[in-house]
Amino acid sequence: MIEIIQADGTREQAVIAAMRQRAAEQNSEIERAVRAVMEDVRARGLEAVREYSLRFDGREPYEITREQMEAAYAACPPELIRAMEHAAANIRDYNEKLLHRSVEWASPDGGRVGRVVRGLTRVGIYVPGGTAAYPSSVLMNAVPARVAGVEEIVMVTPPTENLSNAVLAAAKIAGVDRCIAVGGAQAVAALTWGAGFIPRVDKLVGPGNAYVATAKRLAYGTLDIDMVAGPSEVLVIADGSADPRFVAADLLSQAEHDKLASAVLLTTSGALAEAVRAEIVRQTGYLSRSEIMECSLRDFGCAIVCRDLEEAAALANEIAPEHLEIMTEDPRALLPAIRNAGAVFLGAWSPEPLGDYLAGPDHVLPTSGTARFFSPLSVESFLKSMSVIEYSRESLFPIREEIIALAETEKLTAHANSIRVRFEAAGARGEGK
């Protein structure tokens, strides 16, 4: 089920190449179809959104009332409500500690400079419908936006026959302002340009199918997005001290997402690799999504036996996984060697699902190697800043000639004049310096 590879500088590179390739492949037919929908909605607005909603979802878009959200909350089992409220509290606490604040200080020249931090005005959250109902994603996207001070959070979800009570309850818990039943590329287009009662947003976050992901990518630049997410992935670094049951369970927890998911073990122990492979066979036998897991592990899963933990860390940095678990004798000792990962889970009792649901850090993470330069979603994703500059005549005067010299070097004489005219005017009035 899972291949065991001895690291030799070649075979493991083939694994990395396959992981990158699976995410790089884009369906040109999907892009053409999505582009057409986007342009049509941009031109015709709500009329086009209605047509596509009827064609693809069988019903028109509509506003989900506050009463519907309250009823959904009341219909959820109490244990689910407790879990979601606990998760929301942890997410809120984590993001409040990361929140940047406005700051000003005296510059070396005697003026004042600083930065004003503001939450975005309006943010959209896309939530898949049907069987792919993820209340945890509602919490992970909406709570940080709320902490950031976003003025209005608009959630969209496909107008399915039976909207998920858990999703609507999560929206209530997270403080979502409006819920609109509209999905697909037409929802992304409506949020990008505005369409009737569906407002334009400044940023759009949240998971979706290939059509939604493509639409978000095409919308980027007109609005901001969280990221273009690829297939899910987990990488486990383990030594001989790791429990093979735990390692196998955690690899399977990502492999069950879809057939393109990647689950890779980097270990210094060939015996552990063999034991993990046996555990995968045993555990897959009683798990519900066994067919998906088998395909995922066959095509994009493996165990790579490394010479030492340093080699394992170097490979991990090259892969830059979405989730990185370290199950070694001293997991924190390896953390300084890790540069590229979406989220790092230290030790046998910090499994990846803990981060997916309850710990507090966001589960919206960079995939497909983009952890080399992207960061997880957080409160910072919903903030923007404005720089502030305030100088007096006395603080501007000593540096006036330097500004003029720089401006004239760039042949921007009006820039130079903007400085010069202030002091020429002062001189004409007999004010001198």
Answer yes or no: is 126 a known binding residue.
yes
Residue the block writes with tokens 């604040």:
101
Which amino acid type is present at position 135?
P
The Cα–Cα gap between 363 and 356 comes to: 5
Q: How far is CA 274 from the centre of its chain?
A: 34
Out of 233, 322, 325, 352, the active site residue is 322
Answer yes or no: is 415 a known binding residue.
yes
* Exposure of 154 in the CB half-sphere (CA atoms within 13 A): 26
> Considering all CA atoms of the chain, what is the largest pairwise distance in Å, rounded to the nearest integer?
92
* Exposure of 424 in the CB half-sphere (CA atoms within 13 A): 7
The Cα–Cα gap between 361 and 425 comes to: 56
Per-residue burial over 351-389, b = 16 or more CB atoms within 10 Å of its CB, e = otherwise: bbbebbbbbbbbbbbbbbbbbeebebbbbebbbeeeeee
The encoded tokens of residue 249 equal 């369970």
Answer yes or no: is 257 a known binding residue.
yes
Within 10 angstroms of residue 425's Cβ, the number of other Cβ atoms is 10
The Cα–Cα gap between 108 and 98 comes to: 28
Out of 323, 325, 352, 363, the active site residue is 323
Answer yes or no: is 209 a known binding residue.
yes
- Judge whether 24 and 151 are in contact, CB under 8 Å: no
Q: How far is CA 12 from the centre of its chain?
A: 27
Answer yes or no: is 232 a known binding residue.
yes
Answer yes or no: is 363 a known binding residue.
no
Q: Is 322 a catalytic residue?
A: yes
281: helix, coil or strand? helix
- Judge whether 342 and 366 are in contact, CB under 8 Å: yes
- Judge whether 98 and 382 are in contact, CB under 8 Å: no
The Cα-based distances of 31 to 210, 216, 316, 347 in angstroms read: 9, 11, 32, 42
Answer yes or no: is 86 a known binding residue.
no
Q: Binding site for NAD(+): which residues?
A: 126, 186, 209
Q: Known catalytic residues?
A: 322-323
Q: Binding site for Zn(2+): which residues?
A: 254, 257, 356, 415
Q: Binding site: which residues?
A: 126, 186, 209, 232, 254, 257, 323, 356, 410, 415
Q: Binding site for substrate: which residues?
A: 232, 254, 257, 323, 356, 410, 415
